[in-house]
Structure 1
C-alpha cells in the first residue's frame, strides 16, 4: 500500500501547530496535522481562558513579530467572524533597581515606532485605583495590549484549518520523523506512516523526542506552572472591569528576578494572576496537576501588595511551561535536515501564534519568511549536538 504524500505535516496541534496547519492550508498546500492527545487537551500550554497579547517587549525582534501577529489575528477574525482580541491597554512595571530597566522596553518600542507612555507610580495609581504601585517602579503603558481567549482561539484556528482542507488527526502520536534520501520526510505515527515534503515540529515539551534521533537536543526545562483566580468584593468590581483596568506585568527585581502578570475581569467577574516561570520543574510524565503551595504563597504575598483589593482565592489552574535558558524563540529549519522546521515558543508565544504559524508555513512552502527570523535560529548556546 502506497504511503500518502502531503506538502506539509505538522506535529503538535496546540496554538503554534494549529496555526501552522491553518496558514499552510490557506496557501493551498495539502496539509496533515497530528496531535498525540485529543484536540483541546489540557496537558500542554494552550488551554484555559486568557493570554496576554502585546507589542510591549524588551527586545526589538519580539516587538516586530508581535506587530505582525496583530495583523494575523485580525485576518483570523475576518475569516471566522469571531472576535479574538479584547484590547484593554497594558502596563509593564519595571523596578528602578532591577536588571530590566524601562529603557529596554522603550528602546524596543521606539525601534519599531510603537507608541507608548512612560508613567510614574503616582500616575498609575491615580489612573487605575486598583493598583498600589510603589515609587521605586517605572511603568510603560501600551494602548494596544489586550487579551485573547486561549481555548476559543485554538479551536477557531483548527476549524479554519479544516475548512481550508487540512486533515487534523488527534489521539495520534508521532513516533519519528525520518528524512529521506530523495527529499522529504517519512512521518511514522501510531496511525500509520505518511510522507511529507516538509515537516513542522511544534511539539513543545516533547520536541526532543523527535530531534534526539536526528542528532540535536535542546536544553529544555519543563515545569508545571499555575495561575490563580480571585474574586474581589462586589463594591470593588467596577474598578477591575476590562475597560477600566489594564493587563499588567511586573518585571523582576533583586536576586530572584521574579516576574508576575495578571488580567482584569474577562468572561467572569474575577481577576487572574500568576508567576512567570516559577520553576516547579518536572517532566510531562511526572505532572501532578496539584498546585504548588510554594507558588501559591509567593503569588499571594506579591498580589497582596500590588492589588490589595484582589479578593479571595477562587481556584488555581495548572499548565505546562517548556523553556530554554535564554527563552528565545526557535523558528527555523534544522541545520542538517532542511525539510524539518522547528517552532518552539519558550512559554511566551501564544500572542505570536498566528504569525509563527504563518512564517513556518512560508518556510515550508516558499523557503523564506516575510518576517525577519534572524534572531530565532538554532544558536550554538541553545543547542547541543549529540
Structure 2
C-alpha cells in the first residue's frame, strides 16, 4: 500500500485548505475528491462568500482574526488577490429574534472596530437602504468578499506545488483506523471512467475528514454518527436598473446581513453588474441523493419581496438562481476534532458558515494531524455530545 503522512478526504474549501497547510509543513500528503475538482455538488462553488469578524460568539471572532492573517499569507503565496474589503452591515430588527443580539457587546469585548447606527443614520449614509425605524445597524469596516471558486482552486494549486497528490473523481469507500498511532487504511474507487473503475488502498498516519454531507457514511463503520441537517439552499443574482447600477458598486454598497426571524444576506456588484442575495437556512431538507438542483419559486419570491422592501429598485431583474448544499451541525457549531476512539481520524465540519475561516480552519486541521495540537482556541469545536459512539457489531 502507498504510505502517506496525511490523507485528506473531501476537497471543498476546508479540505483544500487542509491539504495545502499539511503539504506546507513538508509532509507527504494525498487528497481525494469523489467528484471533479470545482464541482457544484457541495457548498464551496460559485463566486463569492462573506468574510467578517462581526460575530456574536467570541470564539468565532478570535478565529476570524487569525483567518484574516492567514488570508493575507495565502494571497502572498498565490500572488493574487482573493479578498475584496467593502465594509459590511448587520441589520438588527428590534422586534424579531436574532442570534446577533449580543453582537455589539462581543465586538467591544474583542476590540473589533464598529459603528452602531439607527435607521435614519443608515438610510442617510446608504440611500440604497429603506430601513424601518425599528432596525439598528452595526457597521464593521473589515467585512468583505472572498472569491469562492478561485480560492478553492488556488489552495489546490498551492497544495500540489508543495508536493501534495490530489485524486479527483475518486470515491473513498472505507476509512479503517488501526490501533492509535498505527495509521489508517483508505479504500478508494476511481470513478468517471465507465466500467473501468479502479480500486486502490492507501495508508496514512492521519486522516482528515472534510466530507460535509457525506460524513456519516464514512463514520458509520466506526460506530460514530453526527446529527446533521442537510438542506438545499439558493442564491439569486439581480441586475440593478441602469440608473442605479453605480449605487451597488463595492465602493458605495456594503456586504449586508439581515439578522431577523428569517435571515437574509447579500453582496454589492462583484465581477459582473449584478448583486447577489439569498436566505440563510430555509430548512429545505434533503439528502445529497435527493437533491434536485432545481430552484424553489417560493424561496425566490420570498427573497424578491424582501429585496423590494429593503433595497428598492423598481425594474430590477432576476437573472439567475444558483443552488448549494448546507450541512448543519447541532447548534451550528464547527467541529474541529479527532474522533475520541479513533484519534488518527480528524473531523472538520463547517456548518455552512466556515468559508470566511477557511485558511485558519485548514491550518488548524493540519496542525492537529501533524503536531497533535494547535495554538488556536478550538475548545468550543469538539464532537457534539449528542453524537453516538458505539462498538462496531
2:274 paired residue number: 270
Q: TM-score, normalised by structure 1?
A: 0.96
For residues 265-298 of structure 1, what are the alpha-carbon distances to aligned partners after superposition, in whole Å with 9 as ceiling and x for unaligned? Answer: 0001111100001111111111111101121121
Q: Quote the Cα distance in structure 2 between the aligned partners of 1:101 and 1:192.
A: 46
Matches within 5 A, 1:1-386: 3-100=1-98, 103-181=101-179, 183-190=182-189, 191-252=199-260, 257-309=261-313, 311-381=316-386, 383-386=387-390
1: distance between equivalents of 2:330 and 2:95? 23
Change in Cα spacing, 1:103 to 1:283, as seen in structure 2 (3 Å) is closer
Structure-2 change in CA distance of 1:102 and 1:346 (3 Å): closer
Post-superposition offset of 1:183: 1.4
Q: SS at 1:281's partner residue? A: coil
Deviates more, 1:372-381 or 1:85-94: 372-381
CA-based RMSD of the aligned residues comes to: 1.2
Could you tell me how far apart the structure 1 residues matched to 2:216 and 2:108 are?
37
Contact 1:94 1:101 in 2 (8 A): no
Give the TM-score normalised by the residue count of structure 2: 0.94
Q: Tell me the distance in 2 between the aligned counterparts of 1:216 and 1:58.
A: 30
Which stretch has the larger CA shift, 302-311 or 47-56?
A: 302-311
How far did 1:260 drift?
0.3
Shift of 1:98: 2.5
The unaligned stretches of length 5 or more in structure 1 are: none
Structure 2 segments unaligned to the other structure (5+ residues)? 190-198
The superposition leaves residues 316-343 of structure 1 with CA deviations (integer Å, 9 ceiling, x where unpaired) of 0111111123100000011111010000
Distance 1:34 1:20, change over 3 A: same
Q: Deviations over 1:109-149 (max 9, x none)?
A: 22221111111111111111111111111111100000011
Q: Residues of 2 paired with 1:122 and 1:96: CA distance?
A: 15
Contact 1:280 1:292 in 2 (8 A): no
State the shift of 1:384 in Å. 2.6
SS in structure 1 of the partner of residue 289 of structure 2: helix
Question: How many pairs were matched up?
Answer: 379
Query: Mean alpha-carbon deviation: is it higher for 103-112 or for 298-307?
Result: 103-112
Q: Secondary structure at the match of 1:286?
A: coil
C-alpha deviation, 1:101, in angstroms = 7.0
